A and B are shown apart, each in its own frame.
Chain A
Amino acid sequence: MLFILGIFIFVGVLETITPHLTRKTIVFGVSIPEPYVQHQQLRLFKKHYSMFVGSIAIAFLLGQILLLYTSIQEEKFVLLSFILLYIMLLISAGLYMFYHLKTKKLKKQEDWEAHVKTVYVMDLSIRDRDEALSSTFFTLPIIITLALITFTYMNYSSIPDVFATHWNAAGEVDAWTEKTWLSVIELPLMLLGLQISFFIMSKGMKSAKIQLSAQDKEASANRELKQRKYGSWYLVAINFSLTILFVVSHYTTVILEDQIVPYFFPLFIVFNVVTLGGLILLIWKFNKSNERFDDLHTNETAAADDRYWKWGILYINKNDPSLLVQKKFGVGWTLNLANKWSYIILFVIFLPILLTIFK
């Protein structure tokens, strides 16, 4: 129950601080001309959003803590906690849309674009300074998985006719699967799909467009390079811990035929610590490299790409050859939906869900 509570707190904090994580030139998914970044109203919008989401998160959290002192069943508590989590996410999504429209209106009302000079800037040498990890880090896990599949088939005859595929929190088996040529590599296949997505994502991050600001090209170049570097580190960390988790699970159940495995749960916890802890580190690093826009030299601003965004969330740009683009709200990258590879990635990510539904 504490684990569920931990997730709730984590998501709550993340939702609360989200408006402050993006580049300063983007507020609620709306591009802000550089000279207006410090606008008082924008600060108020962000503050109000954080206060509103933060107080909902605290109220929900207090409710859950009170419930812990009653004799509520564990299953009921977990279900309730998840429902509250989704309500919180829905409210913050609604608030996002509210402030997205409000920011857009403010920008139009005060006619910011007429008061600034839009320029187009870039740095030709910036990609030579890119420190993102090379694709070797992403091909290695794929090779491990292929080796695991080969190894599984080499030992096919010794695998029992039914083997365990699901455990409860206590580490006891609660689901079994019949042995077929496909079912024995189901787990490695899923892993392979994820690893290939990671590989494509790392390529996409490398070629994603680099947006400099007109006011301080060096500071914005520094921000872009840092975000690429730490973004790729995070991707590699998740990739490797995921690979270890899957390989150990597969090897223990299918090859060793172990059914009650004490180290699954700790391993799962370690995986979560890497994923969530890594995300905290990533956000911290991103925030540190963010440009401040404290002194403005001119009324220039770099060209914005708002016309390629829908609600500041979906990016559809036929002219952009890259697969990924930095998000306009929150931390990380999002798909360029005009790129056909996007749909392959989406398909691979949703494949396991589709398989469970139509099985």
Chain B
Amino acid sequence: MQIHLDPSSELQLYKQLANQLIELIAKGELKNGDTLPSVRSMASDLGINVSTVSKSYHELEEKGLIELKPKAKAIIIGGQKKELEETEVEKVENALKPIMAEALARGLEKDQMTSLFHRILKQWK
């Protein structure tokens, strides 16, 4: 369960951290009920600012993937199988649409996109 952040990437650090944590949940390495290190301990292990980690955690909280309580560790609540609400599916759809549109606009074939989709899904199972 390694985290590897690259400050020279165009993606901001907090976003990279959030993305990698989300990926770990998707892969099932971080399971429902697991705890994340405290913001300060994660920040000193990584060597980045406390505010950066805090920003990532808040983003995950907004997405409903972790639960943050004051004076307690962050608990993973994502990753479990459940009936997704209509609005959540809609959210994913809305997020996906512009990315797919951009890919099509750049000239990707629909077949290519489908296989790309499957390939990524396979990585996370």
Contacts of B50 in A (CB 8 A): 319
The segment from B33-41, B64-72, B95-103, B114-122 found at the interface with A is: B33-41
Query: Does B3 count as interface, using CB distance less than 8 angstroms?
Result: yes
Contacts of B49 in A (CB 8 A): 319
Contacts of A214 in B (CB 8 A): 4
Query: Does B45 count as interface, using CB distance less than 8 angstroms?
Result: yes
Q: In the complex the two chains form, what is the Cα distance from A320 to B45 in whole Å?
A: 9
Q: In the complex the two chains form, what is the Cα distance from A211 to B13 in whole Å?
A: 18
Contacts of B29 in A (CB 8 A): 125
With both chains docked as a complex, state the minimum distance between the C-beta of B44 and any C-beta of chain A, in angstroms.
Answer: 4
Interchain CB contact under 8 A, B7 and A122: no
Query: Does B24 count as interface, using CB distance less than 8 angstroms?
Result: yes
Interchain CB contact under 8 A, B41 and A322: yes
Within 308-327 of A, Cβ neighbours of B (below 8 Å) are at: 317, 319-322
Interchain CB contact under 8 A, B40 and A122: no
With both chains docked as a complex, state the minimum distance between the C-beta of A55 and any C-beta of chain B, in angstroms.
Answer: 39
Query: Does B6 count as interface, using CB distance less than 8 angstroms?
Result: yes
Interchain CB contact under 8 A, B40 and A305: no
Contacts of A24 in B (CB 8 A): none
Q: In the complex the two chains form, what is the Cα distance from A305 to B43 in whole Å?
A: 12
Interchain CB contact under 8 A, B1 and A304: no
CB-CB under 8 A for A319 and B40, given A121-B2, A124-B3: yes
Contacts of A302 in B (CB 8 A): 47
Interface residues on B, range: 20 to 34
Q: Which of chain A's residues has its CB closest to B43's CB?
A: A319
Q: Which of chain B's residues has its CB closest to A221's CB?
A: B2
Query: Does A229 count as interface, using CB distance less than 8 angstroms?
Result: no
With both chains docked as a complex, state the minimum distance between the C-beta of A107 and any C-beta of chain B, in angstroms.
Answer: 17
Q: In the complex the two chains form, what is the Cα distance from A320 to B42 in whole Å?
A: 9
From A119, A125, A217, A319, contact of B44 by CB (8 A):
A319
CB-CB under 8 A for A320 and B36, given A117-B6, A124-B24: no
Q: In the complex the two chains form, what is the Cα distance from A304 to B46 in whole Å?
A: 10
Interchain CB contact under 8 A, B45 and A122: yes
From B2, B8, B37, B47, contact of A305 by CB (8 A):
B47
Q: Which of chain B's residues has its CB closest to A118's CB?
A: B7
Within 201-230 of A, Cβ neighbours of B (below 8 Å) are at: 207, 209-212, 214, 217
Q: Per-position contact with A for B59-101: 1 when CB-CB < 8 Å, else 0?
A: 0000000000000000000000000000000000000000000
CB-CB under 8 A for A119 and B6, given A124-B1, A302-B47, A303-B47: yes
Interchain CB contact under 8 A, B48 and A321: no
Q: Which of chain A's residues has its CB closest to B7's CB?
A: A118
From B8, B36, B48, contact of A124 by CB (8 A):
B36
Within 106-121 of A, Cβ neighbours of B (below 8 Å) are at: 117-121
Q: In the complex the two chains form, what is the Cα distance from A304 to B50 in whole Å?
A: 16
Going nearest first, the 7 A-B pairs with the smallest beta carbon separation are A303-B47, A124-B1, A320-B44, A120-B5, A321-B40, A125-B1, A209-B44
Q: Other than the known A122-B3, A321-B44, what 8 A-B pairs have Cβ atoms closer than 8 Å?
A: A119-B6, A120-B3, A121-B4, A122-B45, A124-B24, A124-B36, A209-B45, A303-B46
What would be 19 A-B contacts, judged by CB atoms less than 8 Å apart? A119-B4, A119-B5, A120-B4, A120-B5, A120-B13, A120-B47, A121-B3, A122-B2, A124-B1, A124-B2, A124-B30, A125-B1, A211-B45, A212-B2, A217-B2, A302-B47, A303-B47, A322-B41, A322-B44
Point out residues on A near B: beta carbons under 8 Å: 117-125, 127, 207, 209-212, 214, 217, 302-305, 317, 319-322
